[in-house]
Amino acid sequence: MNLKGRSFLTLKDFTPDEILYLLDLAADLKSKKKQGITGNSLKGKNIALIFEKPSTRTRCAFTIGCIDEGGHPEYLSKDDIQLGYKESVEDTARVLGRMFDGIEFRGFKQETVEKLAKYSGVPVWNGLTDTYHPTQILADFLTLQEQFGKLNGLKLVYVGDGRNNMANSLMIGSTKLGIHFTILAPKELWPEQSLIQQCEEYAKNSGSKIEISDNLDAVNEADAVYTDVWCSMGEEDLAAERVAILKPYQVNAALLAKSNKPGTILLHCLPAVKGNEVTEEVFEKFADIIFDEAENRMHTIKAVMVATLGNL
């Protein structure tokens, strides 16, 4: 499958077959890495890593993935370049596109990453915006595949802030790949109706079911429960209010028991605020899987770079 030259801004832009191809490529690259085999598909490629928001997993995954494949990553914080401050995003994109072969962006506005893709002329990868987090979803799905041997037909329940970038992106990815997807959240934190309707169209093709609920019993039959911090970066002033309305939705032993399945697992995109969205006891019970998921950020991000920029 040829994804050469494509940007990776949201999973909306990719077909189910293309997403599965990226997961298969990631699994292959992971297997090779475990055997000490790295590649040179990015040899001679220079990659700009733009970070408006700091990160552990995203930065390390892009850096190591790039170096493993023979490329050169260049970290650019918001203090290193003039992006959107002294220089328009469009002009910065045109400069970077003439010097770099690919650009990663992690920041606030989805509009910014879309402008970078439009004006740079090189592949641009979304390392996170306030709206979408597509590279995380690939890591989550690779982890589910490793745990269950399949994706289609699984039931995934996202618990917490149902209108953040993770809930949005998981709903898009799940409905494209036939995963039954539930958002369990208070009504004031439900996703936008327009996105639900779009995902319902994806679900018609894949056989996926979507459920949006504020009832804890929605966890019933879940193969995997997913949670995230209650307050996203940039929303710190809302922390007290979020804790108050989300306390009943903490992932604890009682909530997991409602799945009525002994094999239900927990996923978390990290960092975790233990005692808020998840108890320490439950987090530690599933820590091995959660840190597999964190490691899988690197293998899946490497796959995205190799598929869209590399010489396969």
The answer to whether 269 is a known ligand-binding residue is: yes
35 catalytic residue (yes or no): no
* DSSP one-letter code for 192: P
Phi (first) and psi of residue 126, to 5 degrees:
-85, 105
Catalytic residue among 199, 223, 228, 268: 228
The answer to whether 120 is a known ligand-binding residue is: no
The answer to whether 135 is a known ligand-binding residue is: yes
The answer to whether 197 is a known ligand-binding residue is: no
Catalytic residue among 59, 133, 180, 299: 133
297 catalytic residue (yes or no): yes
The answer to whether 255 is a known ligand-binding residue is: no
Catalytic residue among 6, 106, 268, 299: 106
The answer to whether 1 is a known ligand-binding residue is: no
Angle, vertex CA 62, rays to CA 57 and CA 68, nearest 5: 120
Question: How many residues are recorded in the chain?
Answer: 312
Quick one: which of 258, 299, 76 has its CA closest to 157? 258
The answer to whether 166 is a known ligand-binding residue is: no
Q: What are the distances in angstroms from CA 6 to CA 176, 184, 232, 310? A: 19, 34, 28, 11
The answer to whether 92 is a known ligand-binding residue is: no
Give the separation between CA 133 and CA 148, rounded to whole angstroms.
23
Q: Among all chains, which residue has been given the structure tokens 């606030």?
A: 108
Tokens of 297: 């950020």
Catalytic residue among 59, 180, 268, 297: 297
269 catalytic residue (yes or no): yes
Q: Among all chains, which residue has been given the structure tokens 């494209």?
A: 176
The answer to whether 55 is a known ligand-binding residue is: yes
The answer to whether 214 is a known ligand-binding residue is: no
133 catalytic residue (yes or no): yes
198 catalytic residue (yes or no): no
Q: Which residues are annotated as a binding site for carbamoyl phosphate?
A: 55-58, 82, 106, 133-136, 269-270, 297
Instruction: Show which residues are catalytic.
Output: 106, 133, 136, 228, 269, 297
Q: Which residues are annotated as a binding site for L-ornithine?
A: 165, 228, 232-233
